[in-house]
Structure 1
Amino acid sequence: MTPEQASAQAALVLTSRLVRNRGLTPDEALLAVLQRRRGGTGPHTHLVAEEANALVEEVAAPIREVAAAMAPAVEAACTAIRELLSSLQLPPAHQPVKNRRDRPAWASPYGPPPRARARRREPQRAG
């Protein structure tokens, strides 16, 4: 759905709600919605804002109920995670991890470098 289609759909929903809940005629409701969208004022534009707020409250009410029902479980999970983290002995996040000391700094974790083969010099022949 494009933004223009979503905006048109929202205008239709508000128009139908104004007719059903506020007793406006379809023409009055559509005119009020269009005036409000354009930033104008009219005899019923204040009803558009009130109906939009009522619609948001209706939609948000079940979401608030779910959030309120989930709050104890989320709090218990946070407490369990906090206890788990406190039981682990982790270095504090602000301190850098110390360098490894089990081998000299020049030593590679992949073993020593291959040795260069000594070239045998053949005696130079005179002649």
Structure 2
Amino acid sequence: VQLGSYPMVKLECCPMILLGSCPMDQLGCCPMVKLGSYPMVKLGCCPMVQLGSCPMVKLGYCPMVKLECCPMVQLGCCPMVKLGSCPMVKLGSCPMEQLGICPLVLLGYCPMVKLGIWPMVQLGSCPNVQL
């Protein structure tokens, strides 16, 4: 499906929208790979992984991955992770991997989550989350 100048790739019942200038996955050098029961779509050299029936949206060249009901959004080099109803935003230049290097910083009332060997910190009434 084409939305204006932005292609949309749909896997199963889950739409994947690319906001940018990358071609559709079935065209050109952007392959679609399926790992087990999870389809993986690569749009413009930026992987998008589908877990279950959750949609993913790619903004520019950065992937947005939705895990069950918790979306993970990367804007620029800064990942945004939503766990339950608690959004967490990392503002900075940390890599997407977030493996014990760059913690996610809380903006709001929800807990701060760090990955890898970093401890988790609870701020407010939201539960601690360990990734």
**TM-score clears 0.5:** no
Higher relative contact order (CA 8 A, sep 6+): 1
Shorter chain as denominator, the TM-score bin is under 0.3
TM-score (norm 1): 0.26
TM-score (norm 2): 0.25
- Structure 1 or 2: more strand by fraction: 2
